[in-house]
Amino acid sequence: MNYNRETINPKYIEKLEKVCMGHPKFNEADAYGGSKATGYLFGWVKAMYDFNKVFTETEPLRKQLDEVKRVVEVKQAELKEKKEMLEKIN
């Protein structure tokens, strides 16, 4: 199964927060108490939830990093051009 964790619908996260995350029985011990399958499903849901939180919080930083990388590429191209001009002069 190929699940794209970077495109989780925000409505699902909101519903998970309202229904499950605040519930006192939504924990690993109770999940494994039901069955191993429930425990593993709990672990997967919790991991996807945690990943989504971190992913959405760091999105502005990743966009900023991409912009800085573009600027660096432009400046490196300019530097290469200037070095070539300097070599011709020397």
Per-residue pLDDT tens digits of the chain, which is 90 residues long: 678 889 999 999 999 999 998 888 898 999 999 899 999 999 999 999 999 999 999 999 999 999 999 999 999 999 999 999 999 998
- Give me the pLDDT at residue 2, please: 77
Q: pTM of this prediction? A: 0.74
CA of residue 70 relative to chain centroid, distance? 21
Phi then psi for residue 8, to 5 deg, are -70, 130
pLDDT on residue 36: 93
Q: Is 56 left (phi over 0), alpha (psi -120 to 50) or beta?
A: alpha
The alpha-helical segments, DSSP class H, found in the chain are 10-16, 28-34, 36-89
Alpha carbons 56 and 39: distance in angstroms, whole number: 26
List the domain boundaries for the chain: 5-89
